[in-house]
């Protein structure tokens, strides 16, 4: 079998498999065996390439975050006005694949893990900061600086909150309704405080 150059292929397959398994079970307490099986390799190979379960999980989170970042950058770049940039950031947060139950479950598991793992926590803090500062940059062009801070904080909180409520799957809020709720929030506050 050993065609040379398998390493990047296997790494990606394992990371993708990890995300799928974690999302499916809604917890980081998944076995290396299951991840490996999903990726179509032996558990030993997973250890060979990642050294430990922890490292594989870190790589998995990194991958998810990296994808989100790419989407956000592209969306902001495509938008013309500051107000459109804000809407673009909101829309990215609720994109269908991000808002899918398995992805939401994975996010939740990562947040929970952040209580224990400093590495995971740091990654999530970076994500939170990035969303906040992206929003802030555009909002500053639309209202006074300290109002912008408050609106950015509030919008970010609302996005996270809608994710959590989505995770319960009780009265699943649609993507459109989630976007509308967040947009409403921004609009109401811009009208009250801004230009």
Partner DNA sequence: TATTTTTGATTGACTCATCAATCAATAAAA
Partner DNA sequence: TTTTATTGATTGATGAGTCAATCAAAAATA
Residues that bind a second copy (CB under 8 A): 25-27, 29, 105, 108-109, 111-116, 121, 124-125, 128-129, 150, 153-154, 156-165, 167-170, 173, 181, 184-185, 188-189, 191-192
Q: Does 18 bind DNA (CB under 7 A)?
A: no
User: Residue 27 has which token pair?
Assistant: 């917890």
Q: By C-alpha distance, which of 79, 91, 85, 64 is closest to 134?
A: 85
Alpha carbon separation from 135 to 19, 53, 77, 129, 193 (Å, rounded):
27, 35, 13, 10, 16
**Which CB, 106 or 156, lies closer to DNA?**
106
CA 48 vs. chain centroid, Å, equals 28
Task: Please report how close the Cβ of residue 180 comes to a second copy at its closest, in angstroms.
Answer: 8
Alpha helix (H) residue ranges in 79-144: 82-93, 96-99, 101-113, 118-139
Among 14, 19, 32, 75, binds DNA (CB under 7 A): 32
Q: Does 16 bind DNA (CB under 7 A)?
A: no
Contact residues toward DNA (CB under 7 A) are 1-7, 10, 30-33, 41-45, 47-48, 51-54
């Amino acid at each position: 079998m050993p065609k040379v150059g398998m390493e990047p292929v296997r790494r990606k397959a394992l990371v993708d498999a990890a995300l799928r398994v974690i999302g499916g079970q809604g917890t980081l307490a998944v076995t290396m065996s299951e991840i490996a099986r999903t990726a179509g390799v032996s558990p030993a190979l997973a250890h060979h390439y990642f050294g430990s379960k922890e490292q594989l999980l870190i790589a998995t989170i990194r991958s998810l975050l990296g994808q989100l970042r790419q989407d956000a950058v592209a969306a902001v770049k495509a938008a013309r006005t500051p107000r459109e940039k804000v809407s673009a950031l909101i829309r990215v947060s609720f994109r269908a694949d991000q808002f899918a139950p398995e992805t939401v479950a994975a996010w939740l598991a990562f947040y929970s893990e952040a209580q224990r793992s400093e590495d995971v926590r740091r990654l999530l803090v970076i994500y939170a900061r990035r969303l906040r500062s992206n929003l802030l940059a555009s909002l500053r062009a639309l209202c006074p600086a300290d109002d912008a801070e408050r609106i950015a904080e509030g919008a970010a909180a609302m996005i996270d909150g809608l994710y959590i409520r989505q995770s319960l799957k009780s009265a699943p809020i649609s993507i459109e309704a989630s976007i509308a709720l967040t947009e409403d929030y921004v609009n109401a506050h811009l009208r009250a405080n801004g230009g």
